[in-house]
Amino acid sequence: METTKPTVVVIGNGMVGYKFCEKLVAKSKDFNVIVFGEESRIAYDRVHLSEYFSGKTADDLSLSSSDWYKENGITLYLGDPVQEINRTAKTVHSLHGMAIQYDYLVLATGSSAFVPNIPGVEKDGVFVYRTIEDLELIQSYAGKAKRGAVIGGGLLGLEAAKALLDLGIPETHVVEFAPRLMPRQIDDVGSKMLQYKLSQLGLQIHLNKNTSSIEGNGKIEALQFADDSKLHVDMLVISAGIRPRDELARLSGLEVGSRGGILVNEKLQTSDASIFAIGECALYNNMIYGLVAPGYDMAEVVAANICGGSKSFTGFDMSTKLKLIGVDVASFGDPFISEPECRSVIFEDTHKGTYKRINITQDGKHLLGGILIGDASAYNMLLQTVNNKIVLPPDPEDLILGSRGGAASEGAGVMNLPDDALICSCEAVSKGAICAAVTEQNACTIDQMKKCTKAGTGCGGCVPMVKDLIAGTMKSQGLYVKNVICEHFDYSRQELFDLIKINGIKTYDETLNLYGKGDGCEVCKPAVASIMASLWNDMILKQDTIQDSNDRYLANIQKGGTYSVVPRIAGGEITPEKLIALGEVAKKYGLYTKITGGQRIDMFGAHVSDLPKIWEELIAAGFESGHAYGKSLRTVKSCVGSTWCRFGLHDSVSFAIEIEERYRGVRAPHKLKGGVSGCIRECAEAQGKDFGIIATEKGWNLYVCGNGGSKPQHAQLLAADVDKETCIKYLDRFLIFYIKTADPLTRTATWLNKMEGGMSYLKNVIVNNSLGIGAQLEAEMQYLVETYKCEWKEVVETPELRKRFNHFVNAPVEKDPTVKFESMRAQIKAVEW
């Protein structure tokens, strides 16, 4: 039956040619599809071509596989360009001599880089930026180059320039003929801001420069400009625009535009009704669409029409976002329209390097277009507002400044879009389709959504919006978003805590086998580690690789990869001998020293391999771990209290030390801090801590759930005028209750804020023992207190554990050579990132 199928021949296996095949076979299997490609590779993602330089391989960029073509019955001839079309016989003829008869012919020949006729362009070291081969050539030449330039300051030129920088060319220039960068997308002020941002990245920009010749003996040595100036470079990438590949069409007598491009109507038919042109080779309405999304749209129109549909191409929005790493640039709608046709709202922050302009109709109702530099986070929303003619709020400046004081959240904005709003323009997925995928196909993650609808699989620019839509739809469906730990466990921390406890589970692997799926991650591993530490108090390094990095190395990792060392100085009290010992160790290992905000001494800049040696000396001098690295008790801050202070009511230092030693090493969902003050003047700031104790005439007041940090909160009174023993009893109960029930990484203040019933409920459980678990909570704390061991002491004494503190496994004596310090006020300091 093969022979009766009509034959569709596609010339060009680029992005659009491939998309056409994909769409056609999805709609119908009743065609015999034959594809000719000039490049030797299967269609690849040209849009992300630059990522080839950051490690992506040609395979990664590939859009499909030869198997895919086979499975779909498509014959693919690669490295075999079509050289002739015989329109009367309806045949195509390829370089290698294939002759194929077609019923429908689709030209998807794309475009090539436009190379202006500058004397010297043929010299070595001059490149264009279009194919993987181009990039391979650039990469191999770049190794020898010290100064590179790009001609063309448009979207592609800037991308190429960034690529040269990333290839390690120390000096990279951009030469633009126009008086501004990205002249087709942004205005003068925007261009100045962009220029400033790019110069920070290390690019040197030259505007108003007309290159008159390329100088050099065989290979490029300099650019000569019309204004008589000169720029010495040893490598050049020309990115001066694109030229549609219409040579085959021209040769076959198809009509082409005066400045190139194959003429097509709204059905994308050329002047020969059985021949179509799509993608960057097609000239529609005097316009070449140099972006991938309109090309995909054209592919859809032709595929649908061949299958009997009647779709039309009616032009496409050319809004763009530059995907240069490090600089946000976007332009949408009509970026240039100005007074009196519209009102422009402009926001400029020269300090931060942001420029935002929106153009609004005179009546203030609609958005016409705009420009975003430095911060393009509003791009998707603004683009939707233009495309869907959404009526603007009374204060349209909120669109770029963010609402100040208003309650409208960004998520709500997305949900207000009409159903036909195009969210993913690469794959033409509407808001309606995305919401339907959530409600009907239960696509609740971005990965599932990509699979169901393909939204977000193209340039990826719409992903944040798609996420908001998923969340918004789930919420409007009343879907319960369960507070699970992560994708690997369908349980909350509290549920998991109970499961682990009741079943006596001792390892993470067992937990994952019994209650989880997948291989775990950086969220559930430390959460389970913390649960097990709180329950069993086993040596942390028994399961070292499920610990957060700081717990794994029993020290806090610092900028540059060195560690800090914080021995416990309980209550902030320290003898002169111990002070001297700290000073000696710091001197010996070249450490920076500082008094912390927690009344102790921190020593920074230790190499990982020095840690066991440092701790060996500290332990010999009577110190122990300060657990500054753990989600565990940090410090119990004290004031000097009744031993010296003329106002002191009780001995706050002794009590602070007693408590710090009681709870040292106890692991919790987050860190714990305490304080003990000798009177109501509160010099220990106890009410800013997770637990705070203040001396009264009759005993001690116990406060809980205070917090410093970014959202400070005062602790609240749990019990008044209690004696020491009662105070400790309540503290035991309080801490274990918190450890058992809080979500991961939730401080006591946040835990209380989320607790139903709040402080009165907590008081009931802890003080009135309303749940009858008081004794059990105390016993569990007592177990932790009795099983405490200094982790560092164990490491120092155990050779196998010491061995884990090396930078290189195959060169244990060598330190990380990339660690670098600077000096400041006679001490070391990590170098800036």
Partner 1 sequence: MSLSESLEFQNVQSSVTGARIKWFIACSVEDVPENGGACVKYGEEQIAVYNFTRRGEWFATQNLCPHKQQMVLSRGMIGSHGEHCEPKVACPFHKKTFSLLTGDCLNSDDCESIKTYPVKVKEGKVYIGVGIETI
Ligand X SMILES: Cc1cc2nc3c(=O)[nH]c(=O)nc-3n(C[C@H](O)[C@H](O)[C@H](O)COP(=O)(O)OP(=O)(O)OC[C@H]3O[C@@H](n4cnc5c(N)ncnc54)[C@H](O)[C@@H]3O)c2cc1C
Annotated binding-site residue numbers for [4Fe-4S] cluster: 639, 645, 679, 683
Q: How far is the CB of 561 from ligand SRM (least distance, A)?
A: 12
Q: Which two tokens stand for residue 667?
A: 């692991």
**SS3 sequence, 760-799?**
HHHHHHHCCCCCCCHHHHHHHHHHHHHCCCCHHHHHHHCH
Q: Which range touches partner 1 (CB under 8 A), out of 314-322, 524-532, 584-592, 706-714?
A: 524-532
- Which backbone phi and psi does 532 adopt, to 5 degrees? -65, -35
Contact between 693 and ligand SF4 (CB under 6 A)?
no
**SS3 sequence, 413-480?**
HHHCCCCCCEEECCCCEEHHHHHHHHHHHCCCCHHHHHHHHCCCCCCCCCHHHHHHHHHHHHHHCCCC
Q: How far is the CB of 645 from ligand SF4 (least distance, A)?
A: 3
Note whether 64 and 18 are within 8 A (CB): yes
Q: Which range touches ligand SF4 (CB under 6 A), out of 196-204, 279-287, 671-679, 754-762?
A: 671-679
Q: Which is nearer to partner 1, 327 or 735 (CB)?
A: 327
Question: Is the backbone peptide bond immediately before 340 cis, with ω within 30 degrees of 0?
Answer: yes
Q: Which is nearer to ligand X, 47 or 745 (CB)?
A: 47
Q: How far is the CB of 138 from ligand X (least distance, A)?
A: 11
Which of 677, 687, 746, 748 is the binder for ligand SF4 (CB under 6 A)?
A: 677
Q: Which range touches partner 1 (CB under 8 A), out of 65-73, 215-223, 430-438, 515-523?
A: 515-523
Alpha carbon distances (Å) from 346 to 401, 496, 586? 10, 52, 54
126 binds, among partner 1, ligand SRM, ligand SF4, none (CB under 5 to 8 A by kind): none
Q: Which two tokens stand for residue 573?
A: 């009290």
User: Interface residues for partner 1 in 443-462 (CB under 8 A)?
Assistant: 447-448, 460
Q: How far is the CB of 37 from ligand X (least distance, A)?
A: 5
Note whether 582 and 600 are within 8 A (CB): no
Q: Which is nearer to ligand SF4, 92 or 686 (CB)?
A: 686
Which of 12, 261, 572, 669 is the binder for ligand X (CB under 6 A)?
A: 12
Q: Which range touches partner 1 (CB under 8 A), out of 37-45, 552-560, 584-592, 752-760?
A: 552-560
User: Interface residues for ligand X in 229-268 (CB under 6 A)?
Assistant: 245, 248
Contact between 37 and ligand X (CB under 6 A)?
yes
Note whether 419 and 390 are within 8 A (CB): no
Q: How far is the CB of 747 from ligand SF4 (least distance, A)?
A: 24
Instruction: Match 């990509």 to its residue by tokens.
Output: 450
Q: Which range touches partner 1 (CB under 8 A), out of 314-322, 352-360, 517-525, 654-662?
A: 517-525
Q: Which two tokens stand for residue 254?
A: 């198809």
Note whether 342 and 368 are within 8 A (CB): yes
Residues 36-55, one symbol each (x = binds partner 1 by CB under 8 A, - = not), give: ---------------x--xx
Cα 389 from chain centroid (whole Å): 31
Q: How far is it, in rounded angstroms, from Cα 425 to Cα 429? A: 7
Q: Give the residue from 800, 821, 832, 825 showing the smallest Cα distance to 607.
A: 821
User: Interface residues for partner 1 in 494-513 (CB under 8 A)?
Assistant: 509, 512
Q: Which range touches ligand SF4 (CB under 6 A), out of 263-271, 394-402, 498-506, 674-682?
A: 674-682
Note whether 650 and 638 are within 8 A (CB): no
| Single-letter amino acid code for the residue at 94 | S
Contact between 109 and ligand X (CB under 6 A)?
yes
Q: How far is it, in rounded angstroms, from Cα 28 to Cα 534? A: 61
| Single-letter amino acid code for the residue at 106 | V
Note whether 646 and 639 are within 8 A (CB): no
Q: Which range touches partner 1 (CB under 8 A), out of 167-175, 234-242, 392-400, 800-808?
A: 800-808
The sign one gets for the Cα dihedral 334, 338, 343, 348 is positive
Contact between 93 and ligand X (CB under 6 A)?
no
| Single-letter amino acid code for the residue at 90 | K
Contact between 808 and partner 1 (CB under 8 A)?
yes
Q: Which two tokens stand for residue 136?
A: 């391979």
* Residues in binding site: 639, 645, 679, 683
Q: How far is the CB of 74 from partner 1 (least distance, A)?
A: 25
Q: What pairs with residue 830 in β-bridges?
A: 821
Q: How far is the CB of 60 from partner 1 (least distance, A)?
A: 6
User: Interface residues for ligand X in 290-309 (CB under 6 A)?
Assistant: 290-293, 295
Please name the helix (run of DSSP H) or strand (run of DSSP E) that holds residue 299, with its range, or none: helix 292-306
Contact between 279 and ligand X (CB under 6 A)?
yes
816 binds, among partner 1, ligand X, ligand SRM, none (CB under 5 to 8 A by kind): partner 1
109 binds, among ligand SF4, ligand X, partner 1, none (CB under 5 to 8 A by kind): ligand X
Which of 176, 280, 328, 791 is the binder for ligand X (CB under 6 A)?
A: 280
Instruction: Match 């329109």 to its residue by tokens.
Output: 87
Q: How far is the CB of 192 from ligand X (least distance, A)?
A: 23
708 binds, among ligand X, ligand SRM, partner 1, none (CB under 5 to 8 A by kind): ligand SRM
**Going by C-beta distance under 8 Å and a sequence separation of 6 or more, which residues neighbour residue 409?**
none
Q: Which range touches ligand SF4 (CB under 6 A), out of 33-41, 241-249, 607-615, 637-645?
A: 637-645
Work out whether strand 592-595 and strand 601-606 pair parallel, antiparallel, or are unpaired: antiparallel
Note whether 58 and 44 are within 8 A (CB): yes
Please name the helix (run of DSSP H) or strand (run of DSSP E) that holds residue 633, with its range, or none: strand 633-638
743 binds, among partner 1, ligand X, ligand SF4, none (CB under 5 to 8 A by kind): none
Q: How far is it, in rounded angstroms, from Cα 558 to Cα 341? A: 55
Contact between 46 and ligand X (CB under 6 A)?
yes
- Which backbone phi and psi does 49 adopt, to 5 degrees? -55, -40
Contact between 657 and ligand SF4 (CB under 6 A)?
no
Q: Under the rule (CB under 6 A), what is the footprint of ligand SRM?
A: 556, 558, 564, 566, 594, 596-598, 600, 602, 628, 634-635, 671, 673, 707-710, 747
Contact between 647 and ligand SF4 (CB under 6 A)?
yes
Q: How far is it, in rounded angstroms, from Cα 768 to Cα 252? A: 93
Name the site residues for ligand SF4 (rule: CB under 6 A): 639-641, 645, 647-648, 652, 677-679, 681-683
Name the site residues for ligand X (rule: CB under 6 A): 11-17, 36-39, 46-47, 49-50, 81-82, 108-111, 129-130, 156, 159, 245, 248, 279-280, 290-293, 295, 323, 459
Name the site residues for partner 1 (rule: CB under 8 A): 51, 54-56, 60, 325-326, 447-448, 460, 463, 487-488, 509, 512, 518-522, 524-526, 544-546, 548-550, 552-553, 557, 559-561, 804, 807-811, 814, 816, 818-819, 833
